[in-house]
């Protein structure tokens, strides 16, 4: 891999004396109005203003994203994919901060154009001068082709594609098509950091310009021989032949090839090997870089194989920005989980661990992590069906909830669709009287803490249920607000 | 001798888009909880469905998967499925599986997918510019019984011929085509619907009706003991509340 010496590089987009520092009255008005909206939103208790300020600013200056991101001296990185965007973007920001950079990034989950605009507005002064030198933006899968021409990233990270929120996106094919169709908006010197183990990603990025930097896991001891039934990529997206996997790691991620057309997993540039899972407290592994032959050991508190992919992606992206491999790996060790993604909270000395669930493959991995230390007295599951969660809860039936049978004594379920989760657990084999439906978030949390009897309590919420539970924890004074994190 | 319910699940690896396997779990568990043994046969590409199952199930798939399944279904399963239905077996198709039980599916770009013609209906995709019909769906079944509750997400619009009746009337949502107020189709014991969520967990009365009809042939007069339905009622109430209907409707 060619590594630009970007750690000290000037802006990659021919910036410099291009007049960015020129005062643009409309941009100034957009920023001022956006900032005022954010302040107002907070004052009125509407939340952190993670999207509204951007929406307001874009009305005044539709090019606000392009104008402000062009002023970031080291350019931008976008992170896309169904699972792990927030964790990967935060990891990369953490690594870059450790290198003395000052990244601008959007808030967890605020990954549509308005969320990115909000972040840029919040990190600029009214003249449009950025307080930061590098953009790191998580971007919604379907928003990729819309924001990429504006941001003109130097590196794009593609993590995975799962059937997630199909009611919003239609079908998974459509997303892969959108990424490919974004082709014209991509810079020719783009670094395409892509998951080699996901055939959908490999197919979706194959026509993108730039240089491909594939990453993948190579440690068959931690593989599974067969595809899980949640796996979406059973049949080749080019020719319709069933893929052949010699090993799978997580969902449809693994060593794949198509016997029909010959498509196959690209040879990874960055490989995770020699894995030692420390679940639920993290994992340890080696990252190997093919071109340089470099190897670095990594230790992370992030649990599960899905987080091995996130760490690999963040390290590969950091390398594309010129960070030495051992420095990137070392920075990973001091990373604390982001907002609901394996986040730890103490309530009166008792540990609560929040593990976001969004789709069957991720839910299954989370279940493997929480059950890795043996039987539990209770788990708390919180399912909502708002837009950000996916309005269709039928995916719960693709979760292997059977894993909990005999290994969790009770389940407390809450959220708008607690009833659906309760039914899923019952049909999985949990007795009716082991399932407690508690619609109120605070009561559910209290009840689950009581049942945990001083032990660690695992909480598995969908996105907006996580926000609601965090709001309870905030009222109890044990976590800070959304916009302060 | 313990009675046995024989279920044939067609293309579980292709037609599995919306938690469809939940329907099989519900049929199997509700039968087992009544002391009925359950035998499940999965048939996939290149296989042939048995003609002596009591209940056949087809779920929904993405366009690409549905096309692969449609060709195989028409070429290999049309015969056994038609024979079984004629002999009184229950056939249930959901979403894409529902469309394939009809005469044909016409994608926006042409190139019809063949159906098996067990239901007198056809489906057309009105074009890339037309919105998918997505959201919670509440249906009042023809005849009697509690509302059928679920979620729909389909681009195709389905139109019934004279040989099929709608499964029910749309109370909230779109249904077959968003225009004529009909949802699903039924002819004898062949059922099709756009309701997923999946369909059966939140509609236990309908699930039991299918089990009873499937078993009646070989076990005439079979009775299914009632089961507690507290969780089902809670789950139903949450959808009815979300669609602005009072709980218990
Ligand atoms: Zn192929």
Q: What is the pLDDT of residues A32-50, one digit of tens each?
A: 888 888 888 777 766 656 7
Q: Which residue has the tokens 């470099």?
A: A294
- What is the CB-side half-sphere exposure of residue A329 using CA atoms within 13 A? 19
Nearest to A213 by CA among A188, A187, A183, A192: A192
The CATH T-level fold of domain B4-242 is Rossmann fold (3.40.50)
Structure tokens at A404: 């909990």
d(CA A224, CA B230) in angstroms, rounded, equals: 38
* Chain B closest-CA separation from residue A397 CA (Å): 5
- Say how far apart CA B106 and CA B51 lie, in whole Å: 28
Q: Please say whether the beta carbons of A111 and A81 come within 8 A.
A: no
For residue A203, how far is its CA from the centre of ligand 1 (angstroms)? 10
Residue ranges of domains in chain A = 22-332, 341-475
Sequence-ordered strand ranges (E) for chain B: 4-10, 37-43, 55-58, 90-94, 104-106, 113-114, 121-124, 133-141, 148-154, 157-160, 168-172, 182-183, 185-187, 190-193
Contact B151 A396 (CB under 8 A): no
The residues, ordered by sequence, that sit 6+ positions from B143 with a Cβ below 8 Å of its Cβ are none
Q: At how many degrees (to 10) do helices A113-122 and A144-151 cross? A: 30
Cis peptide, bond prior to residue B172, ω within 30 of zero: no
Nearest to A423 among B135, B232, B237 (CB): B232
Higher pLDDT, A208 or B3: B3
For testing contact with chain A, the best of B13, B149, B174, B238 (most A CBs within 10 A): B238
Backbone angles phi, psi at B68, to 5 degrees: -60, -45
Give the Cα separation of A185 and A130 in Å (integer): 23
User: For residue A436, what are the β-bridge partners?
Assistant: A412
Listed residue (B150, B121, B141, B116) closest to B209, CA to CA: B141
Instruction: Enter the ipTM.
Output: 0.95
Q: Reduce the secondary structure of chain A to three states and give it as a string.
A: CCCCCCCCCCCCCCCCCCCCCCCCHHHHHHHHHHHHHHHHHHHCCCCCCCCHHHHHHHHHCCCHHHHHHCCCCCCEEEEECCCCHHHHHHHHHHHHHHCCCCEEECCCCCCCHHHHHHHHHHCECCCCCECCCEEEEECCHHHHHHHHHHHCCCEEEECCCCCCCHHHHCCHHHHHHHHHHHHHHCCCCCEEEEECCCHHHHHHCCCCCCEEEEEEECCHHHCECCCCCCCCCCECCCCCCECEEEEEEECCEEEEECCCCCCECCCCCEEEEEEEECCCCCEEEEEEECCCCCEEEEEECCCCHHHHHHHHHHHHHHHHCCCCHHHHHHHHHCCCCCCCEEEEEEECCEEEEEECCCCHHHHHHHHHHHCCCCCEEEEEEECCCCCCCCCCCHHHHHCCHHHHCCCEEEEEEECCCHHHHHHHHHHHCCCHHHEEECCCHHHHHHHHHHHHCCCCEEEEECHHHHHHHHHHHHHCCCCCCHHHC
| C-alpha A137 – ligand 1 centre gap (Å) | 33
pLDDT in tens, chain B (249 residues): 799 999 999 999 889 888 899 999 999 999 999 999 999 999 988 899 999 999 999 999 887 788 889 999 999 998 999 999 999 999 999 999 999 999 999 988 888 999 999 999 999 999 878 898 999 999 999 988 999 999 999 999 999 999 999 999 999 999 999 999 999 999 999 999 999 989 999 999 999 999 999 999 999 988 899 999 999 999 999 889 888 765 443
* Tens digit of each residue's pLDDT (9 = 90 or more) over A433-469: 999 999 999 999 999 999 999 899 999 999 999 999 9
Residue A226 has pLDDT above 80, yes or no: no
* Predicted local confidence at residue A481, as pLDDT: 56
Cα distance between residue A61 and residue A149, in whole Å: 16
Cα A88 to middle of ligand 1, angstroms: 30
What residue segments make up the domains of chain B, in order of their start? 4-242
| Structural class in CATH, domain A341-475 | alpha beta
> pLDDT (tens digit, 9 = 90+) per residue, B52-102?
999 999 999 887 788 889 999 999 998 999 999 999 999 999 999 999 999
pTM for the full model?
A: 0.86
A281-316 pLDDT, tens digit per residue, is 899 999 999 999 999 999 999 988 999 999 999 999
pLDDT given for residue B242 in this prediction:
81
The answer to whether B202 contacts A172, with C-beta atoms less than 8 Å apart, is no
Report helix, strand or coil for B172. strand
Residue of A nearest to B20 (CA): A397
Residues of B marked active site are found at 95, 196
Which residues of B fall within a CB distance of 8 Å from A172? 62
Fold of A22-332: 3.40.1190
**A397, B19: Cβ pair inside 8 Å?**
yes
- Chain B residues within 8 Å of chain A (Cβ atoms): 12-14, 16-22, 25-26, 29, 45, 62-65, 68, 132, 134-136, 151, 153, 155, 196-198, 201-202, 228, 230-232, 234-238, 242
Q: What residue in A sits closest to B228 (Cα-Cα)? A: A432
Q: Closest Cα of chain A to B52: distance in Å?
A: 26
Tokens 């590196």 — which residue?
A: A155
| Mutation for testing the B interface, residue in A420, A424, A437, A440 having most B CBs under 10 Å | A420
A423: distance to nearest CA of chain B, Å? 6
Closest alpha carbon to A338 in A379, A302, A390: A302
Around B38, how many Cα atoms within 13 Å sit in the side-chain half-sphere?
20
């Amino acid at each position: 891999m060619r590594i630009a010496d970007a750690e000290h590089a000037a802006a990659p987009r021919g910036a410099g004396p291009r007049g960015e520092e020129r005062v643009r009255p409309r941009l100034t008005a957009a920023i001022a109005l956006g900032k005022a909206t954010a302040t107002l939103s907070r004052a009125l208790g509407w939340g952190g203003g993670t999207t509204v300020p951007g929406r307001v600013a874009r009305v005044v200056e539709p090019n606000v994203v392009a104008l402000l991101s062009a002023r970031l001296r080291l350019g931008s990185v976008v992170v896309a994919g169904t699972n792990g965007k927030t964790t990967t973007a935060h990891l990369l920001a953490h690594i870059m901060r450790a290198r003395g950079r000052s990244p601008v990034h959007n808030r967890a989950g605020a990954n549509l154009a308005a969320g990115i605009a909000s972040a840029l507005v919040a990190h600029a002064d009214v003249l449009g001068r950025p307080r930061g030198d590098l953009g790191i933006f998580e971007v919604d899968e379907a928003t990729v082709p819309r924001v990429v021409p504006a941001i003109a990233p130097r590196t794009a990270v593609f993590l995975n594609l799962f059937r997630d929120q199909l009611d919003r996106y239609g079908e998974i094919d459509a997303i892969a098509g959108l990424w490919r169709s974004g082709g014209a908006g991509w810079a020719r010197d783009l670094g395409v950091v892509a998951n080699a183990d996901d055939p959908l990603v490999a197919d979706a990025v194959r026509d993108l310009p730039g240089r491909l930097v594939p990453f993948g896991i190579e440690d068959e001891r931690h593989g599974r021989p067969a595809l899980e039934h949640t796996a979406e990529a059973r049949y080749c997206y080019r020719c319709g032949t069933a893929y052949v996997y010699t090993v799978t790691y997580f969902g449809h991620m693994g060593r794949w090839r198509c016997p029909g057309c010959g498509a196959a997993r690209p040879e990874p540039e960055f490989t995770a090997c020699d894995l030692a899972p420390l679940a639920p407290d993290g994992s340890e592994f080696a990252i190997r870089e093919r071109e340089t032959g470099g190897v670095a050991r990594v230790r992370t508190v992030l649990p599960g194989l899905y987080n091995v992919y996130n760490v690999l992606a963040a390290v590969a992206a950091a390398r594309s920005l010129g960070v030495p491999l051992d420095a990137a790996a070392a920075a990973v060790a001091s990373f604390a989980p982001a907002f609901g993604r394996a986040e730890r909270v103490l309530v009166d000395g008792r540990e609560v661990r929040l593990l976001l669930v969004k789709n069957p493959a991720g839910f299954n991995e989370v279940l493997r992590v929480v059950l890795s230390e043996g039987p539990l007295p209770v788990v708390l599951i919180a399912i909502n069906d708002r837009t950000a969660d996916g309005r269709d809860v039928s995916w719960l039936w693709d979760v292997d909830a059977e894993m909990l049978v005999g290994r969790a004594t009770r389940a407390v379920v809450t959220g708008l669709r607690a009833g659906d989760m309760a039914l899923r657990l019952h049909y999985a084999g949990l007795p009716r009287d082991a399932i407690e439906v508690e619609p109120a978030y605070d009561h559910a949390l209290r009840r689950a803490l009581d049942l945990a009897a001083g032990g660690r309590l695992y909480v598995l919420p969908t996105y907006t249920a996580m926000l609601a539970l965090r709001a309870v924890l905030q009222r109890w004074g044990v976590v800070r607000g959304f916009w302060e994190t | 001798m313990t009675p046995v319910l024989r279920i044939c699940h067609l293309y579980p690896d292709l037609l599995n888009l919306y938690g469809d396997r939940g329907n099989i779990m519900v049929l199997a568990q509700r039968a087992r909880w009544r002391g009925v043994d359950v035998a499940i046969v999965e048939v996939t590409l290149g296989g042939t469905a048995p003609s002596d199952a009591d209940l056949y199930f087809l779920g929904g798939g993405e366009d690409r998967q549905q096309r692969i399944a449609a060709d195989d279904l028409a070429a290999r399963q049309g015969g056994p499925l038609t024979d079984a239905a004629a002999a009184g077996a229950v056939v249930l198709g959901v979403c894409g599986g529902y469309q394939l039980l009809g005469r044909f599916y016409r994608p926006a770009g042409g190139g019809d997918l063949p159906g098996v013609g067990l239901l007198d209906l056809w489906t057309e995709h009105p074009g890339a510019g037309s919105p998918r019909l997505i959201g919670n769906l509440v249906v009042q079944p023809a005849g009697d019984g509690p509302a059928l509750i679920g979620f729909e997400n389909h681009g195709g619009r389905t139109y019934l011929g004279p040989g099929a009746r709608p499964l029910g009337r749309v109370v909230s949502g779109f249904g077959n085509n968003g225009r004529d107020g009909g949802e699903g189709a039924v002819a004898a014991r062949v059922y099709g619907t756009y309701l997923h969520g999946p369909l059966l967990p939140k509609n236990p009365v309908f699930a039991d009706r299918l089990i009873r009809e499937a078993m009646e042939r070989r076990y005439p007069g079979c009775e299914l003991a009632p089961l507690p339905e507290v969780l089902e009622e809670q789950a139903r109430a949450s959808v009815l509340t979300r669609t602005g209907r009072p709980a218990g409707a």
